[in-house]
């Protein structure tokens, strides 16, 4: 319905670049503190995000019959942001969460409010949960632990530096997706599998998490020790030389 000349001008407009370089994720302690601080309606939504890496709209639009296969343990997304079909396994924590939810007969959606309508947004309650997820952090080392008392935090048991109370800062709901991917990488899961779980079209989008797996890379290189037999040969030569020096001494 738009004239060709107008359409040409619109196509020449450059879109703002999407910020894909941001990589903020929660530690294990922060994850548990956040879940505990969530309101009752928000908790299963956050647990779903942490255990599937799904986008917020994908989660909030889930339907019991259309998307959930609890018998075989899969979430089926017929149409995603990238226009492709995606299957996400349901792990044990998520299975327990879903089984513990009350399914309403007046709505097909999984996450609904008291009126039976699906949630469109959880920004306010998520912000409150972030503020309520208070941890004790050390100003001297990397120690962090959940706040267990209303008494002043005192000093760090590891380095003696003062502890301080802090909520979770600089964190958005979409960063739960980064948290999911980051912890999989640090656990040694291969990048290709993570790409499939996240539904990335290209591997380049998933490779931003690769730097989180230095130990995994080290284990991969160590395979050469056994493969090429270098480790055993070098160790034997080292032990022999050490024995000679001991005898001379």
Are 145 and 16 a contacting pair, CB within 8 Å? Answer: no
* pTM over cut 0.75: yes
Mean pLDDT of 204-231: 73
Q: What percent of the chain has pLDDT over 70?
A: 78
Task: Report the C-alpha gap between 143 and 156 in whole angstroms.
Answer: 8
Q: pLDDT value at position 25?
A: 94
CATH number for the segment(s) 28-133+168-178: 1.10.443.10
pLDDT tens track for 42-86: 999 999 999 999 999 999 999 999 999 999 999 999 877 767 789
| pLDDT confidence tier of residue 140, bands split at 50, 70 and 90 | confident
């Amino acid at each position: 319905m738009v004239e060709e000349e107008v359409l040409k001008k619109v196509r020449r407009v450059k879109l703002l670049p999407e910020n894909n370089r941001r990589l903020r994720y929660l530690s294990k302690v922060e994850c548990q503190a956040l879940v505990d601080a969530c309101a009752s309606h928000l908790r299963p939504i956050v647990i779903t995000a942490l255990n599937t890496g799904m986008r917020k709209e994908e989660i909030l639009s889930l339907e019991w019959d259309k998307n959930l296969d609890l018998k075989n343990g899969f979430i089926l997304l017929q149409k995603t942001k990238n226009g492709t079909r995606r299957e996400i396994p349901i792990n044990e924590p998520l299975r327990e969460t879903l089984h513990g939810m009350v399914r309403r007969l007046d709505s097909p959606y999984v996450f609904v409010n008291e009126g039976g309508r699906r949630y469109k947004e959880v920004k306010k309650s998520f912000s409150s949960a972030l503020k309520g997820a208070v941890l004790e952090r050390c100003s001297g080392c990397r120690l962090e632990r959940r706040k267990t008392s209303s008494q002043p935090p005192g000093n760090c048991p590891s380095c003696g530096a003062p502890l301080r109370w802090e909520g979770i800062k600089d964190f958005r709901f979409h960063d739960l997706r980064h948290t999911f991917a980051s912890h999989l990488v640090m656990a040694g899961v291969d990048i290709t599998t993570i790409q499939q779980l996240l539904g990335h079209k290209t591997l380049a989008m998933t490779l931003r998490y690769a730097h989180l797996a230095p130990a995994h890379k080290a284990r991969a290189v160590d395979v050469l020790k056994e493969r090429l037999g270098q480790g055993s040969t070098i160790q034997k030569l080292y032990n022999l030389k050490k024995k000679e020096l001991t005898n001379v001494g």
